[in-house]
Structure 1
Amino acid sequence: MLYTSFHRSSLLTQLQDLATYNCWAITRLTDWLKSKPAVLLEASAASSFPGIKATLLHIWEVEREWMGHLQQRPNGLQQGIDDDLTTVLNRLVEQAADFSKYVQSLTEEEVQEDCYCQLWFSETICRPRFEIIQHCLNHSTYHRGQVVTIGHQVGLKDAPMTDYMFYVLKVKEQASGSSKTETPANRKNTDSYGRNSFLAVNFFSKQ
């Protein structure tokens, strides 16, 4: 059984971590898709968007649009773009990397600042920057799930694991060397804010 201590965080560090995770998940997903026949990625399927390529294009368009709002330089949706599959895959990864880099550059004060947005489905709105970031990352996660589901419809049933906790335990902490593996018998008393709490995870320790 693996016990990993919780780490202190703020709203900004949580957003930065999620933006990094989003980039990792999109890269992992697109690397998998690049190994599959293009005809399957462009095949029609029943979903919010009619196929894997169309869904990937939507993720890219929306991340691009919201990043423009965050920077107060609206880009607008580019609906109807019909680039080749390789271009769509590469643009999606590049956009996720740009979005993550942008979030890493923000300060605690900047994530609280208001942003004015003119949306195609609403009048001009004013929302704090952190809400827009949360919305954008949640939107991408939602549609990545659809890509996997569409994959099952067209015969692609070996999608890679992109769960957030998998990223935390198998990628983030191992890469940083910050993971603390402990047992109940050797836990040390630590400060408040949850450092005396531990998350027990059986699934990943058996992988």
Structure 2
Amino acid sequence: MEHTATIAQATETSIVYLTKNYIRYNAWANTTLVNWLRTKEESVLEQEVPSSFPSVRKTLFHILQAQQYWLSIIRRDETPNINWEESKTLEEVFSAIVAQSEEFVAFLDSMSAEQIDEKTMVVSPWFQSDFANFEYIMHVVNHGTYHRGQITTIGRNLGFTDAPMTDYNFFNIHGK
């Protein structure tokens, strides 16, 4: 019985570590991507190309919206009403995604192991789920990784050949 408790304790610690490290990775990757994008012409970043979100700016805005949504769910806040896409400059979107990513890190740093493992019921017009908070956090980071890849591909289509490395292993070796 004692051996089982030790395994459960180690697993919980591993999940907490991974969850917090993964959200730090997300903030680092978003900041790295934004810093790279800041070196590009704004007019090019607004250019539309065939993709699920037609421009770099619109894809970044989608990542921001998703992160805000999921953080509000985990905090059990009201879901934010985000409808300012057209009124924000590209630089404001850059700053907002970096700040929001850091806000997510700070919130997770304040969570206990029990809170990270606690289930949260989500009822929306699109789905219903009742998962542990760490599952939602993994989703947020995977979602961001997917769309950062899209931004890199959009950039490639716009002629950018110098995209930064933003994968998780690179972060663990060089980004911390």
* TM-score normalized by the length of structure 2: 0.87
Q: State the 1:79 CA deviation.
A: 4.8
Shift of 1:116: 2.1
2:110 to 105, 110, 113: 105
Matched, 1:16 2:20: yes
Alpha carbons of 1:125 and 1:99: their partners in 2 closer, same or farther (altered >3 Å)?
same
- For residue 69 of structure 2, what is the amino acid of its counterpart? E
Q: When you count helix as a share of all residues, which structure comes out higher?
A: 2
> What's the CA shift string for 1:127-172, capped at 9, x where partnerless?
2111111111111111011000000111112111112111111232
What SS does structure 1 have at the residue aligned with 2:172?
A: helix
* Aligned match of 1:51: 55
**Percent identity between the aligned chains?**
33
Paired residue type of 1:112? D
Contact 1:15 1:134 in 2 (8 A): yes
Q: Conserved in 2, the CA contact under 8 Å of 1:62 and 1:77?
A: no
The offset of 1:78, in angstroms, is 2.3
Give the structure 2 partner of residue 180 of structure 1. Answer: none
How many residues are matched?
164
Query: What's the counterpart of residue 154 of structure 2?
Result: 150
Distance, in Å, in 2 between the alignment partners of 1:121 and 1:112 is 24
Within 2, Cα distance between the matches of 1:125 and 1:101? 25
In structure 2, the partner of 1:125 is: 129
CA distance in structure 1 between the aligned counterparts of 2:174 and 2:81, rounded to whole angstroms: 35
Cα distance in structure 1, aligned partners of 2:19 and 2:101: 14
C-alpha change, 1:39 and 1:97, in structure 2 (3 Å) is: same
Contact 1:72 1:116 in 2 (8 A): no
Q: 2:125 & 2:141 partners in 1: Cα distance?
A: 19
Cα distance, 1:76 vs structure 2:
4.1
CA deviation after TM superposition for structure 1 residue 77, in Å: 5.3
TM-score, length-normalised on structure 1?
0.75
- Structure number with greater CO (CA < 8 Å, separation at least 6) is 1
Equivalent runs, 1:83-98 vs 2, <5 Å: 83-98=88-103
Q: Give the 5 Å matches for 1:8-87.
A: 10-76=14-80, 78-79=82-83, 81-82=85-86, 83-87=88-92
Distance 1:126 1:139 in 2: 19
Distance 2:84 2:92 in 1: 15
Structure 1 gaps of 5+ residues are 1-7, 173-207
| Amino acid of the structure 1 residue aligned with 2:173 | L
Q: Is the 8 A contact 2:152 2:163 kept in 1?
A: yes
- Name stretches of at least 5 consecutive residues in structure 2 with no aligned partner: 1-10
1:44 match: secondary structure: coil
Using the TM superposition, name which of 150-159 and 80-89 deviates more.
80-89
1:10 alignment partner, SS class: helix
Q: Which has the larger radius of gyration?
A: 1
What's the C-alpha RMSD, in Å, of the aligned pairs?
1.6
Which secondary structure state, in structure 2, belongs to the residue aligned with residue 63 of structure 1?
helix
